[in-house]
Chain A
Amino acid sequence: MSGTFVGMPAFPEAAREAVHDATLRGNLRHATHTIRAKRAKAVAEVSDWATLREAGKRIKDHTLRRLDRYLEQLEESVTAAGGTVHWAADADEANRIVADLVKATGESEVVKVKSMATQEIGLNEALEAEGIRAYETDLAELIVQLGRDRPSHILVPAIHRNRGEIRDIFRREMGEWGRPAPDRLTDTPAELTEAARLHLREKFLRAKVGISGANFMVAETGTLVVVESEGNGRMCLTLPETLISVVGIEKIVPTWRDLEVFLQTLPRSSTAERMNPYTSMWTGTTDGDGPRAFHLVLLDNGRTDTLADEVGRQALRCIRCSACLNVCPVYERAGGHAYGSVYPGPIGAILSPQLRGTGSEIDASLPYASSLCGACYEVCPVAIDIPEVLVHLRERVVEGGQVTSRGDKVVLKPAKGHAAERAAMRAARWAFSRPAALRTGQRLASRTRRLHPRTLPGPGRAWSGTRDLPQVPAEPFRDWWLRTNGGKDGAK
């Protein structure tokens, strides 16, 4: 399961393996249903949840509309507080900036707080290519890294691993990276956690450079915020001499007051906690306390292009709580890896094809990785209408059209492989625009009903492989209506 996301197969193929892996499905089902139920309870405790959700949506929309202004304000605030701001248009640029900053310190290893942005850009791999080792310190990220694996969930990256697998990974790999796992390590949570704690403590105390993301950035003061459960993040943020934070430009909020909304909605939506155990905030540098140097790398990587799309831009409201993953019936069966991105689940299905474009097979298939059941929209704490964006992106895939790519307006051609479907949709529209044609078709189907096969050829096999087909009735409704005068003639 190691490696990158490049060249991922389309979602249906990637999902097939997970669907037929009974253990994985069992693990995912248990994990998602547990957190789903807890979240519902935590949200139900808050009497003004609907108001908070609406406020979160409005704050984010307001900020996105004036993103240029708030980013400039943030840059000023961070600079005034002793930090340095760097702007990265894409992954390569961000990785180069970070690698150069690390090299300038003379260090060859860094500790990391769990960060979606650095995973999005493949920072660890880029640093490795420069001879710099990056140690993940979030427990789940550590498991993923030691297992040479990929994360499969936004909040619980190792959700696909069970305790036995984690014990095996720790025993096998910890020695390679630093302090080895204790002898006779068992799979009890306490022992596993203690092994990770000892392994990580050594790194925290040694590291001179820390790398983080941020959940929020406050424009008015230049303050960055990380919300976490373990305290490992706080170690990374405070112990090293140099701190480099890589943050997506959409993570900004204008004021401290705006934070109050998200510090209520994020923990309840993500971990079902009333408040997360650790909320760390830092503003530039302070004499005698914390890192001596602070760098903020502001990452675009497709975000302003996404912002240019009036339907799709709402995906940028996302606060990465993962409630949509935990409630999604498709995620529950397909697992996170099938989405071919660090952003799996419903939010990933709308975010990845916008940030990366719909050019690859996996990105063109993601908008279809949903039954449009709407459960994701219902739980989203910032009211992202994920089904609406999915359908919008489907349109982009099958019909092409104008999009913004790297700041330029370009016209996309329809993706390959939809010609037969498009022809069928056109034919159906033609027939449905002509009631007589529909009726002819219905009658033909009814008259030949005894000849209909029990299984279907071509794409229809996907249906008849696991489900019986409905039988075509002897008479469509409209013929009954005519024959019986709307049922008034008493005939059945």
Chain B
Amino acid sequence: MRVALFLTCVNDTLYPDTGRAVVKLLTRLGVDVDFPMAQTCCGQAHYNTGYRHEAEPLARHFSDVFGEYDAIVTPSGSCGAMVRELYPRMGERARAEGRGDSLAATLAPVVPRTYELTEFLVDVLEVTDVGAYYPHRVTYHPTCHGLRSLGLGERPLRLLRAVEGLELAELPGAEECCGFGGTFALKNPDVSAAMGADKVRNAASTGAEVLCAADNSCLMHIGGTMARLRTGMRPVHIAEILASTKEDPAV
């Protein structure tokens, strides 16, 4: 099986540790993962802000880059949802606008082959115990796109429960949005900040040291709020927890 890592532009630029963790984890599980250098951005920010026509070339580019792989793995629920849920919709819209099937046909191959990381581990590799060691109290925030668009359900929690040393604390109001929402955080800063502060307060009430999620964009917003509110908690991507072992622990 040819497996590609779709790291996402945000992770590539700002969170390379997450990328290194995914590579380490998948390699440990026997997957030979490739990182196609031509990858850039799935177009989600464009699409969700109303620039569907700017997102189309990026979606085509994504298909060009990843089209020949059997599986495309991404450590981002929202970018995964972009491909799986919104690429087909872009194809449909193009068709409805009388532009034919070209876009839909171009995008079709990557749609079913794109997996969010925890989905790939549980559904494709069929593992829940990935041999990780992470001796910390952790609370898990299921990000909205992972939860509702991709329907990740219990998968991330099953993976976390199998981590040696990890103490999982239930997050109150877990399914409520943290308030990031891409450009929402810039366009509605007051509401976004209020949502973030509530999320952080809920997280702090668990007594966990770490808030973990499967999407760095939400973690960027939550982590930035945590730092400002001086909670002493840290945001950590789930890949970094799952990659951590006794021999090579995450810091």
Seen from chain A, the residues whose Cβ lies within 8 Å of a Cβ on chain B are 11-12, 15-16, 19-20, 25, 310-311, 329-330, 333-334, 367-375, 377-378, 388, 391, 393-399, 421-422, 425-426, 428-429, 431-435, 438, 442, 445, 459-460, 462-463, 465-470, 472-473, 475-478, 480-482, 486-487, 492
| B249 CB, min distance to chain A CBs, angstroms | 13
Contact B35 A15 (CB under 8 A): no
Contact B40 A432 (CB under 8 A): yes
Known contacts A371-B144, A374-B144, A433-B58; is A422 also within 8 Å of B188 by CB? no
Contact B40 A422 (CB under 8 A): no
Q: Which secondary structure characterizes the binding site on chain A?
A: helix
Contact B11 A477 (CB under 8 A): yes
Which residue of chain A lies nearest to B187 when distances are taken between CB atoms in the complex?
A368
Judge whether B68 is part of the interface by a CB distance below 8 angstroms.
Answer: no
Q: Which residues of A contact B54 (CB under 8 A)?
A: 425-426, 428-429
Report the Cα distance A334→B179, complex, angstroms.
Answer: 13
Which residue of chain A lies nearest to B177 when distances are taken between CB atoms in the complex?
A373
| A374 CB, min distance to chain B CBs, angstroms | 4
Q: Which residues of B contact A334 (CB under 8 A)?
A: 191
Q: Which of A19, A311, A425, A477 contacts B12 (CB 8 A)?
A: A477
| B60 CB, min distance to chain A CBs, angstroms | 9
Report the Cα distance A487→B192, complex, angstroms.
Answer: 38
| A19 CB, min distance to chain B CBs, angstroms | 4
Report the Cα distance A15→B12, complex, angstroms.
Answer: 35
Chain B 37-79 interface mask (CB, 8 Å, partner A; 1/0): 1111101011111111111011001000000000000000000
- Classify chain B: how many residues form its interface, as a range: 35 or more
Q: Which residues of B contact A399 (CB under 8 A)?
A: 50-53
Q: Which residues of A contact B38 (CB under 8 A)?
A: 435
Contact A12 B187 (CB under 8 A): yes
Contact B196 A422 (CB under 8 A): no
| A183 CB, min distance to chain B CBs, angstroms | 41
Closest 10 CB pairs of A and B: A371-B181, A394-B50, A467-B224, A462-B189, A373-B177, A477-B16, A477-B19, A466-B193, A373-B144, A374-B148
Contact A480 B16 (CB under 8 A): yes
Contact B40 A329 (CB under 8 A): no
Report the Cα distance A460→B189, complex, angstroms.
Answer: 10
Q: Which of A20, A374, A397 contacts B149 (CB 8 A)?
A: A374
Q: Which residues of A contact B149 (CB under 8 A)?
A: 374
Q: Which of the listed residues B13, B45, B55, B228 has the most CB atoms from chain A within 10 Å of its own CB?
A: B13
| B234 CB, min distance to chain A CBs, angstroms | 12
Contact B194 A19 (CB under 8 A): yes
Contact B228 A442 (CB under 8 A): no
Contact A429 B46 (CB under 8 A): yes
Report the Cα distance A487→B19, complex, angstroms.
Answer: 11
Report the Cα distance A373→B145, complex, angstroms.
Answer: 7
Q: Which of A373, A442, A466, A477 contacts B20 (CB 8 A)?
A: A477
Q: Which of A369, A394, A421 contacts B188 (CB 8 A)?
A: A369
Contact A368 B184 (CB under 8 A): yes
Q: Which residues of B contact A330 (CB under 8 A)?
A: 188, 191, 195
Contact B14 A473 (CB under 8 A): yes
The 22 listed contacts between A and B (C-beta, < 8 Å) are A12-B188, A15-B191, A16-B190, A25-B194, A311-B93, A368-B187, A369-B188, A371-B177, A371-B192, A391-B47, A395-B52, A425-B45, A428-B41, A429-B43, A429-B55, A432-B43, A467-B221, A472-B14, A477-B11, A477-B19, A480-B16, A492-B20
Q: Which residues of B contact A425 (CB under 8 A)?
A: 45-46, 49, 51, 54
Contact B195 A329 (CB under 8 A): yes
Q: Which of the listed residues A15, A370, A374, A482 has the most CB atoms from chain B within 10 Å of its own CB?
A: A374
Contact B50 A397 (CB under 8 A): yes
Q: Which residues of B contact A480 (CB under 8 A)?
A: 16, 19-20
Contact B37 A435 (CB under 8 A): yes
| A415 CB, min distance to chain B CBs, angstroms | 10
Q: Which of B45, B89, B176, B225 contacts A428 (CB 8 A)?
A: B45
Contact B50 A398 (CB under 8 A): yes
